[in-house]
Amino acid sequence: MTQETKPRALNRLKSMYALRAEVDRMYEGGVEASEEGKPVAWVMLEGWSNAILNAMGVKTVFPENYSSLCAAQGMAEPFMERSEAEGWPSHLCGYARASVGYSARMVDVGGKIPPEAPGGGMPKPTLLVASGETCDARFKWFQSLGRFFDAPVWTLESPSPGIRERLSSETYERNVQFLIKELKAFVAFLENLLGKKMDWDMLEFTGGGTNEINRLRWEINELRKSRPGPMHTRDFWSVMTAALFRGAADPEVIIEGHQKMYDEVTERVEKGIAGINRPEKYRMSFEGLPPWHTLGFLDQLAERGWNFVIESAYRPMRPRTVDLSMYDDPMERYVRRRYRSLEESLQEDYEPDEVEAIKNEIIRDGTSSRLGLKHISDYQVDGVVLHVLLTCRATSAGLNLLQRKILDVLKVPSLVIEGDIIDASAFNAAEALRKAEAFEETMDHYRKVRKELGMPW
């Protein structure tokens, strides 16, 4: 008699594996470039520098991603311990601490890749490109690596106005000009460093590839609104790396991989196939950065019928077509193609009457309770997991406010789980699972509340 094997809780997308493999190739490419004497940059994820660096022939690797790779392979802890021994406070970003320890180890072995480095490692940088976008750690951390490397650090500015200020068209235009000038200064710095001129045609190519990848990611995410949710967040995170931290990978390869993924997800939608191999009892959103060291925790939740159909981090932007015919300057074209105003974002995401209501709220109160919640209602989420990170202020500071807003406005409850992106010791999976079990009653309750209020899910 044959024994039936219960399928794994997650129903992984086949198209995911090829894209995930591209991440390995990104790191391999960095090592190869270094061995060939080509420049390699350590870069923070932001929307601007990668395409510029690639257009100038610089290979790019991403320490924040590399730290998550170390965590996923259980290799981050020794690097973090080394960071503390070097004097970096233990509350600092887990990504940063792992890379500080990694950098210290590089110095130990004469600037080479430490033999214990997972994934082939990152070669010694020619330069570091820090960022003012998203969090302060992203420039403070790279500056602090100066102890280990003689590579210059460029911090790329990125404006982030308050909500009311973002509504102003003057603010928007000033920020566009700021970005253009800042990126031109960055190019001048690179030209001086590399002894070569910027290839502006190549920037059109590398930048254009990024736009196409973003468009496909957006289209795939739109499909994820279906019931049952056809793609689990673990697949999203697995391929996100190839799309965003793609280094000098050929954009065409990444585009092709995403096209295949789009086709596979479309087929799942048509056939009603879910991203989990269990009945979809709860549609979930994951807010914050993932626990890279313990992603299997989500498989355990999938066993209970929790399908994470959407997430807050690394989401693609809505594709847009911008009339650039009046702009000749390639950098201005590059900036205007990507940088959008709050007014434009509102017009794209909300119905006209909602737009006016939100704008009036912002002008009157300085903010709107509806901002930041749209994915919860669009994906008809039953519950939200808020991952409060011990070492990340940028993603954690606002989570409790978000929890209040989601409940107040959408009647969707949240489960707060404390942990960390890199430090596995900060995360108690067993306790989180116990809380999750109890949380199901809360989700059931609010389902009834939403029904009584006539809400669509």
- Footprint of other proteins (CB under 8 A): 86-89, 91-93, 96, 127, 130, 132, 135-137, 139-141, 143-144, 146-147, 149-155, 157, 159-165, 168, 170-171, 174, 178, 181-182, 185, 188-189, 192-193, 365-367, 369, 388-391, 393-394, 396-401, 404, 416, 418
* Helix or strand (DSSP H, E) at 383: strand 383-389
Segments in 109-168 forming alpha helices (H): 137-144, 163-166
Q: Residue 244 CB, nearest distance to other proteins (Å)?
A: 20
Q: Which is nearer to other proteins, 153 or 254 (CB)?
A: 153
Q: Nearer Cβ to other proteins, position 253 or 407?
A: 407
Smallest gap from residue 159 Cβ to other proteins (A):
6
Smallest separation, CB 181 to other proteins (Å): 4
Positions of E strands within 304-357: 306-311
Exposed (0-12), middle (13-18) or buried (19+): which is 236, by Cβ within 10 Å? buried
Name the residue type at position 94: G
Q: Please state the closest distance from residue 174 (CB atom) to other proteins, in A.
A: 5
Q: Which is nearer to other proteins, 168 or 266 (CB)?
A: 168
Residue 159 or 330: which CB sits closer to other proteins? 159
Distance in Å, CB of 419 to other proteins, minimum:
10
Minimum separation from the CB atom of position 191 to other proteins (A): 10
Tokens standing for 24? Answer: 């390995």
Closer residue to other proteins in complex, CB, 283/405: 405
Least distance in angstroms from the C-beta of 309 to other proteins: 25
Shortest approach of other proteins to residue 153 CB, angstroms? Answer: 7
Determine whether 237 is exposed, middle or buried from the number of CB atoms within 10 Å of its CB (0-12, 13-18, 19+).
buried
Nearer to other proteins, 87 or 352 (CB): 87
Give the integer Cα–Cα distance in Å for 185 and 61: 22
**In this complex, which beta carbon is closest to other proteins, that of residue 196 or of residue 451?**
196
Q: Which is nearer to other proteins, 193 or 433 (CB)?
A: 193
Angle 410-288-446 from CA coordinates, rounded to 5°: 25
Residue 312 CB, nearest approach to other proteins (Å): 15
CB of 80 to other proteins, least distance (A): 14
Structure tokens given for 229: 């949710």
Could you write out the DSSP letters of every residue in 11-41?
---HHHHHHHHHHHHHHHHHHHHHHTT--EE
Cβ of residue 88: shortest distance to other proteins, in angstroms?
6
Distance CA 112, CA 117 (A): 11
Spatial distance between the Cα atoms of 62 and 247, rounded to a whole number of angstroms: 8
Work out the end-to-end distance of the chain between its first and last CA atoms, rounded to an integer number of angstroms: 44
Q: Rounded CA gap, 352 and 348, in Å?
A: 9
Of 136 and 437, the one with the shorter C-beta distance to other proteins is 136
CA distances from 92 to 133, 144, 160, 422 (A): 17, 12, 22, 11
The residues with which 130 forms a beta bridge, in sequence order, are: 155
CB of 161 to other proteins, least distance (A): 4
Residues 146 and 104: their CA atoms lie apart, in Å, by: 11
Gyration radius of the chain over CA positions: 22
In angstroms, the CA 390 to CA 291 distance is 11
Q: Measured at the alpha carbon of residue 132, what is the angle toward residues 424 and 237, in degrees to the nearest 5?
A: 40
For 85-132, list the strands marked E by DSSP.
Answer: 127-131
Beta carbon nearer to other proteins, 73 or 90: 90
Instruction: State phi, psi for 386 to the nearest 5 degrees.
Output: -100, 115
Nearer to other proteins, 130 or 381 (CB): 130
Nearer to other proteins, 365 or 437 (CB): 365
Please give the Cα distance from 254 to 212 (Å, whole number): 10
